[in-house]
Chains A and B, each alone.
Chain A
Amino acid sequence: MKIKITQWVYTLGLIILGFGGPVQTALAHGEKALEPFIRMRTIQWYDVAWSKQQFKVNEEVAVSGRFHVAEDWPVSVPKPEAAFLNVSTPGPVLIRTERWLNGKPWVNSVALQPGGDYEFKIVLKGRLPGRYHIHPFFNLKDAGQVMGPGAWLDISGNAGDFSNGVKTLNGEIVDMESVGLLNGIGWHLFWGALATGWLLWWVRRPLFISRYRMLQAGMEEVLITPTDRLIAKAVLVAVPVIVLAVNAVAVNRYPNAIPLQASLDRILPLPALVNAGQVDAEAIKAEYSVAKRAMVFTVRIDNRSDKPVRIGEFNTANVGFINPELPAVSSQAPATAAVLKLDDDTPVRPGETRTVTVTAQDASWEAEKLDGLINDADSRVGGLLFLYASEGGERYISSVSAAVIPKF
């Protein structure tokens, strides 16, 4: 018996030591878990940038960028009638102080329009020191989370220095970190003390076996004494009176209290930035080579601008495929940038319509779990194709999509 107990103690000790050992931080946010066709054909992020990536507690950092709501929105995904631009953080290590969409501040969810172009900015304030991998992302009602590109943020300083003062409409400045805390604890202690008193009043005397026997013997009047009844009557009267009295005090103290706010913001899209009309690109066919991990698009480009244009990048689900002949271009600084090959990279002249074969080949299709597309119920690929004018540097963006044919 003694040996068994000792073994249990040793086992328990090992388990406890295990909890104290080095623990590797989880860095993923499930961004690869969502079906590829949702990641590629709903919210198409580009130009996402952070104002800085190293800052201190109480300092602000902004992430800004653009996104296009794909015209080829998957039929199996509910339309984005309620969408919330969020930030993936491991808890509130930063607080969100501002959020802007197309130049308008907003705090609620918003209805997005498929085909619409939007510009966003989120201002965050450092709260807890550490190194965190952060993404802007959209919560899409009934669809899931569509991640934007992630970045590492280093927050230095002391967590105790964090402050978050807010001025109410009554003119009072409150500290969000502590407002109402002592008051709440106080009321819980007050009612907790009364409840403890009531429990102790009964627990102090013999309980289960004794009372069961006495009740069975018909000695109910001994179990509930006149004093018990008096106290119960006092509770029955005093508790509601106290509740109503303190409620009245609270009502008088906060006469301007308002209900929680529940509304949907309405923000219209920007004038078209993607599929804007001057240079059109349309994917006619897409083949995915499983062995080569390459998506081969047949794209028809119609250049109605007055300058020759070249394809610079294809970007989907935060994976950028860059034309190495145009090295200076990139819609963002993607964590995974791969090479985009074209069968004819000569500029498409003004007025010319040309069909080009574009090959986006990289292990990212597999690493980012985008190749699962061929096994999806909706096996269509989508993304943004960036074209650049050879002179002047203008950028034309097309949201392209096509059904995918796997090549095994």
Chain B
Amino acid sequence: MSLPVTTQSIKPYTGEKARLVRAYDYLILVLALFLFIGSFHLHFALTVGDWDFWVDWKDRQWWPLVTPLMGITFPAAVQAVLWDKFRLPLGATLCVTALLIGTWITRIFAYHYWNFFPVNMVLPATMLPGALVLDAMLMLSNSLTITAIAGGSAFALLFYPSNWPIFALFHQPVEYANAQLTLADLFGFQYIRTGMPEYLRIIERGTLRTYGQYAAPLAAFCSALLCTLMYALWWYIGKWFATTRYLSKI
């Protein structure tokens, strides 16, 4: 993964050049932040969608499988550019932070103020712990293979336990309508979503329940395996679509 480099000593910029270079940094950073807020948020809304929108979609089976798998995409692509060309190990953290900024803006303004849902019903999940580990892993290993396998797995495996402190309390049981529900289920029943009937929720379907009743760890390990592949795929997507040809001319 290391670039073919020729060792030579160059002096850092000083004076006006240094100021201009720093201004360029900030310009790119601000643009990148807005770009990732918009694009990663859109990608996430279209792929993870309801699993991240609603508290009563965050199940043990599909939520921890789908979310990291779709969430590792942009971080891998941006890491490919920022690490390969600049040795900046912040691609994953930058992407996930931008995603969360966009998500929180949407949840508060679109879901709460515009559509009247209580914010706790639409709390987003966090992937920041996994992103931090992914960045640190890439920096220390300087290896796509190790980062994809160990970092990608960690990204998936850390997802459910890092979010359980946020969402565990919504899984407290309540007795309602002669049935046992979670508080999260009750949100879905009480707070009316005209376009989302109960049967649309994708919860605990299929056969990912083969180890007794422990669905979440199995889903997380399945996600970890897929994330290693997804990471490598998106690393190359990032690499193919990025260029530093303009920097080379400076």
Contacts and interface: CB of A to CB of B under 8 A. Distances in A.
A174 B183 contact: yes
Interface string B86-97: 111110011011
A113 to B, nearest CB: 17
Interface string A79-93: 000111011111111
A208 B131 contact: no
Interface string B157-189: 010011011111111111111111111111101
Contacts of B173: 168-170, 256-258
Contacts of B7: 217-219
Interface stretch (A2-10, A186-194, A297-305, A362-370): A186-194
A254 B168 contact: yes
A87 to B, nearest CB: 6
B46 interface: no
B25 A260 contact: no
A242 interface: yes
B118 to A, nearest CB: 5
Interface string A264-288: 1000000000000000000000000
Interface in B140-171: 140, 154, 158, 161-162, 164-171
Given A92-B192, A261-B179, A239 B13 contact: no
B244 interface: yes
A359 B250 CA distance: 83
A91 B94 CA distance: 33
B90 A198 contact: yes
A372 to B, nearest CB: 23
B15 interface: no
A170 to B, nearest CB: 6
Contact of B5 (A104, A106, A216): A216
B29 A203 contact: yes
B60 interface: yes
Contacts of A244: 161
Contact of B192 (A94, A174, A232, A242): A94
Interface residues of B, number: 99
A29 B178 CA distance: 32
B28 interface: yes
B65 interface: no
A319 B100 CA distance: 48
B172 A128 contact: no
A207 B89 CA distance: 11
B5 A215 contact: yes
A220 B10 CA distance: 12
A289 interface: no
Contacts of A195: 93, 96-97, 128, 131-132
A393 to B, nearest CB: 35
Nearest to B60: A259
Interface stretch (A55-63, A223-231, A309-317): A223-231
Contact of B21 (A96, A180, A210): A210
Interface string A95-122: 1111100001111110000000000000
A98 B177 contact: yes
Contact of A250 (B29, B133, B135, B168): B168
B115 interface: yes
B10 to A, nearest CB: 5
B190 interface: yes
Given A98-B177, A220-B5, A224-B89, 4 more contacts: A84-B198, A229-B140, A243-B161, A254-B169
Q: Which 7 A-B pairs have the closest CB atoms?
A: A84-B197, A247-B161, A139-B197, A218-B7, A105-B177, A257-B171, A218-B5
25 contacts: A92-B116, A92-B117, A95-B192, A109-B198, A169-B173, A169-B174, A178-B118, A180-B120, A199-B93, A206-B12, A206-B25, A207-B25, A216-B6, A217-B10, A224-B139, A232-B139, A236-B133, A240-B129, A244-B161, A246-B165, A250-B168, A260-B57, A260-B60, A260-B171, A260-B203
